[in-house]
């Protein structure tokens, strides 16, 4: 079915913008879906990666805004995807469409979103906005759920499911467009959403899938390809593609493997493509002004045209790798599977080395759906005539196994993960706190509208929900008044803060034990004891020193060791995590800290963001349970954000000043804004890590009088200016980012 863009009934100017982007004809699945989307029908669109799912949603969104006067909420699972969709939709702003992205504070209704026509948000942010009940939400006429197959993800899935159920409950005339990779039971999801199901395997770039063994790729279409044998089986496949002008994504199952393989390939890539020259700024190796071993390793690889990509990298490092791969400067990325579910990053050849990963004490097979997601990254539309996805086999028997179980097999059905009590706690409280459920019957009625109830029965869900209600009543977050469910002030605040009710119980109990002279370490340990922060794995060598911490700091702890020995190891893990945050706020050098705890800069960022959000939440609960803790929590919140001792708090509040620069100034006698006003600008600029540009910016920030011009810069000073500019950009970006434990 051929359908040209100019044959569609689109709002004025849309076809012209699409033509500028080179889009004049729709792909077959788009041609089937777009007329239905423009007609206001609910859609479940399950087609392969890079087949143009997003365009269907964009055109429906523009129709709602430009012709129907509605608003659109575009829900994505990850912040990186939100940025990508925001950039796509910004192209239509010339038509008068206002596009916003909401990834801010989860304890806020974001009233400024009322001025935008299309709002891109993560599923957690969308759920948070519903909890805060902003008036502008009633004007939403279209909800797009991108990557809806992630409903089966135990972490994020239930939130997306509940959010969609709420929107459909609040506005029965709402249009819902769900976008997904190819899934086996898309019809089941479509039936739940009362939507048209459009499923297709069509791709704009043909995909060849195969298994490599002994120098030959055996494809599913019974063709073969010989690959010159080089130093390593994976490198044989990478070099074969790069020599022909292609780029490669290699998927492995651990971060250590990703870094090790990339480091191994880097010198080989230099031999393979000797003309490749990529000058990389030194700040790629840094995190908040401090160089790290992981960063140095990444920079060394990138200079040779190879990179690794995993959750241990900082956001800035991941974005750098992604953007330079798109530009063709990086020829090969070795990644963990998280990249497969992330942003649009196709390559000519995708190589999947591992189909097992370590989980729950043993190796488990990676689901077919995830392998298919990785395979789907093969083939760059407009760049490659085809894409190749290749699995690696040890021998012929293994080749047949991989072919039958993965490449020739269907993806698994997706299932709702809403049915467990830990998952339901937060959502049941939110339903009561917002008045969506005012009785047990209305709560069960709402839960009956979920995908879980659609897939199975209400029996297990009812029992779990009743247990959750009992817990919430016992902890005084909900109370019953003649069969009516009502939130307490505590319960409403917990719902707004977007924390697990069990987290709130732990924080409340710790606050009740807090005294004005208590150590801040007890507060750190309290937040690390909650389910809203991922505690650190306890290695064999950790037991001795963590138990020593427990004995020496026993008086500081607000939550005492458990009597149940089965819980003892968890308690030590919580203590280890608290020690990590303590080392951070005591200004341990970042590389030393990362080495001590066996983590990457991105992991540290995650812990810091989660810790900051939970300390903020604890401070808010201190207003209810113990106001004496408020000042110490306020100070600790800022210390965690910047990783500093109390004496640097004045300096780190200044834009462009992180922990390393603040300590440098402090050690040179500049300790607050008044000192910055009074210090000679040339002396300030000469301090390590400061430089001319930042010195001037700091003088401006503190309102210092106009100073004499600085002398001409040397090459060294010019480098310092460049460093300061980049640091300030990072600071500005961080300020716009989501300050919550759910967004990493």
pLDDT tens digits, 315-326: 889 889 998 999
CA 68/CA 65 separation, integer angstroms: 6
Give the mean model confidence (pLDDT) for residues 32-60: 94
CA distances from 457 to 184, 190, 433, 583 (A): 21, 18, 25, 49
112-141 pLDDT, tens digit each: 888 999 999 999 999 998 998 877 888 899
Same domain, yes or no: 389 and 275: yes
Residues of 66-77 as b/e, b for ≥16 C-beta within 10 angstroms?
beeebbbbbbbb
CA distances from 621 to 382, 528, 570, 574, 585 (A): 54, 16, 25, 21, 22
By CB neighbour count within 10 A (0-12 exposed, 13-18 middle, 19+ buried), where does 363 fall? exposed
By CB neighbour count within 10 A (0-12 exposed, 13-18 middle, 19+ buried), where does 404 fall? exposed
Q: Is 457 helix (H, G, I), strand (E, B) or coil?
A: coil
CA 119/CA 100 separation, integer angstroms: 5
Lowest mean pLDDT among 9-13, 165-169, 357-361, 606-610: 357-361
By CB neighbour count within 10 A (0-12 exposed, 13-18 middle, 19+ buried), where does 742 fall? buried
Domain-located, residue 741: no
| DSSP states of 157-226 | HHHHHHHHHHHHHH-TT-EEEEEES--TTHHHHHHHHT-EEEE----SS-EEEEEEETTEEEETTS-EEE
Higher pLDDT, 143 or 744: 143
490-501 pLDDT, tens digit each: 999 999 999 999
- Degrees, nearest 5: CA angle 100-103-105: 120
The residue from 199, 231, 264 where one domain ends is 199
Same domain, yes or no: 182 and 69: yes
Q: Is 347 helix (H, G, I), strand (E, B) or coil?
A: strand
CATH classification at residue 700: 1.10.150.20
| Residue 721 clears pLDDT 60, i.e. is over it | no
Same domain, yes or no: 126 and 56: yes
Asked if 332 contacts 238 with a C-beta cutoff of 8 angstroms, the reply is yes
The residue from 479, 497, 515 where one domain ends is 497
738: closest CA among 125, 202, 234, 179?
Answer: 125
- Which domain range does residue 712 map to? 649-736
Domain-located, residue 743: no
- Alpha carbon of residue 418 to chain centroid: 21
CATH classification at residue 603: 1.10.3380.30
544-595 pLDDT, tens digit each: 999 999 999 999 999 998 888 788 999 999 999 999 999 999 999 999 999 9
By CB neighbour count within 10 A (0-12 exposed, 13-18 middle, 19+ buried), where does 367 fall? middle
Give the mean model confidence (pLDDT) for residues 423-440: 96
Domain-located, residue 415: no
CA 376/CA 323 separation, integer angstroms: 19
452: closest CA among 414, 410, 425?
Answer: 414
CA 41/CA 21 separation, integer angstroms: 26
Same domain, yes or no: 51 and 129: yes
Domain-located, residue 62: yes
524-552 pLDDT, tens digit each: 999 999 999 999 999 999 999 999 999 99
Give the mean model confidence (pLDDT) for residues 438-443: 96
Q: How confident is the model at residue 83 (pLDDT cuts 50, 70, 90)?
A: confident
Domain-located, residue 34: yes
Same domain, yes or no: 338 and 370: yes
Domain-located, residue 413: no
Same domain, yes or no: 309 and 355: yes
pLDDT at position 342 is 62
Asked if 633 contacts 622 with a C-beta cutoff of 8 angstroms, the reply is yes
Asked if 309 contacts 335 with a C-beta cutoff of 8 angstroms, the reply is yes
Structural Rg of the chain based on CA atoms: 27
106: closest CA among 509, 432, 510, 494?
Answer: 494
582: closest CA among 619, 527, 622?
Answer: 527
The sign one gets for the Cα dihedral 170, 174, 180, 186 is: positive
DSSP state of 567: G
Asked if 419 contacts 451 with a C-beta cutoff of 8 angstroms, the reply is no
The residue from 643, 663, 687 where one domain ends is 643
Lowest mean pLDDT among 35-49, 100-114, 292-306, 373-387: 100-114
User: Average model confidence (pLDDT) for the chain?
Assistant: 89
Same domain, yes or no: 487 and 520: no
454-481 pLDDT, tens digit each: 998 888 899 999 999 999 999 999 999 8
Asked if 186 contacts 46 with a C-beta cutoff of 8 angstroms, the reply is yes
Give the mean model confidence (pLDDT) for residues 89-110: 84
Asked if 314 contacts 733 with a C-beta cutoff of 8 angstroms, the reply is no
Same domain, yes or no: 155 and 301: no
Same domain, yes or no: 521 and 586: yes
Same domain, yes or no: 318 and 400: yes
Most confident residue range from 305-314, 396-405, 655-664, 697-706: 396-405
pLDDT at position 720 is 41
Long-range contacts from 24-27, C-beta under 8 angstroms, 24+ separation: 26/52, 26/55, 27/51, 27/52, 27/202, 27/204
Domain-located, residue 660: yes
Domain-located, residue 742: no
User: Given the DSSP bridges, would you call strands 207-213 and 71-76 parallel, antiparallel or unpaired?
Assistant: unpaired
**What is the helix (H) or strand (E) element at residue 301, kind and residue range?**
helix 293-302
Same domain, yes or no: 354 and 476: no
Same domain, yes or no: 32 and 117: yes
Give the mean model confidence (pLDDT) for residues 365-375: 91
CATH classification at residue 484: 1.10.10.10
Number of domains into which the chain is organized: 5
| Residue 362 clears pLDDT 90, i.e. is over it | no
649-696 pLDDT, tens digit each: 999 989 889 898 999 999 999 999 999 999 999 999 999 989 898 999
């Amino acid at each position: 079915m051929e359908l040209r863009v100019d044959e569609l009934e689109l709002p004025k100017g849309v076809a012209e913008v699409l033509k500028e982007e080179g889009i004049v004809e729709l792909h077959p699945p788009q041609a089937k879906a777009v007329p239905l989307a423009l007609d206001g029908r609910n859609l479940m669109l399950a087609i392969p990666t890079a087949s143009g799912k997003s365009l269907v949603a964009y055109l429906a969104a523009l129709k709602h805004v430009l012709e129907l006067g509605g608003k659109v909420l575009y829900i994505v699972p990850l912040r990186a995807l939100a940025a990508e969709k925001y950039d796509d939709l910004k192209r239509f702003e010339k038509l008068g469409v206002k596009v916003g992205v909401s990834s801010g504070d989860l304890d806020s209704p974001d009233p400024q979103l009322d001025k935008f026509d299309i709002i891109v948000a993560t599923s957690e942010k969308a759920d948070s906005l519903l909890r805060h009940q902003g008036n502008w939400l009633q004007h939403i006429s279209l909800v797009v759920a991108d990557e809806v197959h992630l409903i089966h993800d135990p972490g994020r899935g239930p939130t997306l499911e509940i959010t969609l159920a709420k929107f459909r409950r609040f506005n029965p005339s709402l249009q819902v467009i769900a976008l997904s990779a190819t899934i086996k039971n898309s019809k089941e999801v479509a039936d739940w959403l009362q939507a048209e199901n459009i499923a297709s395997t069509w791709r704009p770039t043909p995909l060849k899938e195969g298994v490599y063994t002994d120098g030959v790729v055996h494809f599913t279409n019974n063709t073969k390809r010989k690959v010159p044998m080089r130093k390593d089986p994976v490198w044989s496949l990478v070099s074969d593609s790069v020599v022909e002008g292609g780029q490669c994504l290699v998927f492995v199952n651990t971060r250590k493997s990703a870094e090790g393989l990339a480091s191994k390939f880097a010198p080989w890539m230099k031999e393979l493509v000797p003309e490749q020259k990529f000058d990389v700024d030194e700040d790629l190796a840094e995190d908040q002004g401090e160089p790290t071993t992981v960063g140095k390793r990444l920079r060394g690889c990138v200079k040779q045209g190879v990179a690794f990509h995993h959750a241990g990298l900082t956001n800035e490092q991941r974005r750098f790798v992604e953007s330079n791969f798109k530009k063709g400067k990086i020829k090969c990325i070795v990644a963990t599977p998280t990249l497969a579910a992330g942003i649009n990053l196709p390559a000519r050849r995708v190589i999947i080395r591992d189909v097992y990963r370590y989980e729950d004490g043993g190796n488990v097979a990676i689901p077919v759906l995830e392998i298919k997601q990785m395979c789907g990254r093969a083939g760059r539309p407009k760049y490659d005539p085809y894409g190749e996805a290749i699995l690696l086999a040890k021998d012929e028997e293994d080749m047949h196994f991989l072919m039958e179980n993965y490449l020739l097999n269907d993806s698994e059905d997706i299932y709702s993960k809403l049915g467990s009590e830990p998952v339901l706690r937060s959502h049941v409280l939110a339903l009561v706190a917002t008045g969506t459920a005012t009785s047990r019957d209305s709560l069960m009625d709402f839960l009956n509208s979920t995908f879980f109830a659609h897939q199975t029965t209400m029996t297990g869900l009812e029992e779990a929900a009743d247990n959750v209600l009992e817990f919430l009543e016992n902890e005084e977050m909900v109370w019953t008044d003649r069969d009516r469910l009502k939130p307490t002030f505590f319960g409403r605040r917990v719902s707004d803060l977007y924390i697990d009710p069990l987290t709130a119980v732990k924080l409340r109990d710790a606050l009740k034990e807090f005294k004005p002279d208590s150590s801040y370490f007890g507060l750190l340990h309290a937040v690390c004891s909650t389910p809203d922060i991922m505690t650190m794995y306890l290695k064999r060598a950790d037991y001795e020193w963590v138990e020593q911490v427990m004995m020496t700091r026993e008086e500081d702890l607000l939550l005492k060791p458990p009597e149940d020995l089965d819980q003892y190891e968890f308690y030590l893990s919580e203590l280890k995590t608290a020690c990590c945050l303590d080392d951070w706020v005591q200004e341990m050098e970042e590389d030393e800290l990362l080495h001590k705890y066996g983590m990457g800069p991105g992991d540290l960022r995650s812990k810091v963001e989660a810790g900051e959000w939970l300390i903020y939440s604890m401070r808010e609960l201190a207003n209810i349970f113990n106001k004496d803790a408020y000042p110490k929590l306020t100070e600790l919140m800022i210390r965690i954000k910047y990783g500093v001792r109390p004496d640097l708090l004045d300096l780190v509040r200044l834009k462009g000043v992180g922990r390393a620069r603040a300590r440098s100034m402090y050690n040179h006698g500049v300790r607050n804004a008044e000192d910055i006003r009074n210090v000679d600008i040339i002396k300030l600029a000469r301090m390590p890590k400061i430089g001319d540009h930042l010195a001037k910016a700091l003088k401006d920030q503190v309102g210092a009088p106009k100073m004499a011009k600085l002398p001409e810069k040397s090459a060294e000073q010019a480098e310092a200016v460049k460093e300061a500019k980049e640091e300030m950009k990072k600071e500005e970006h961080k300020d716009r980012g989501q300050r919550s434990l759910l967004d990493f």
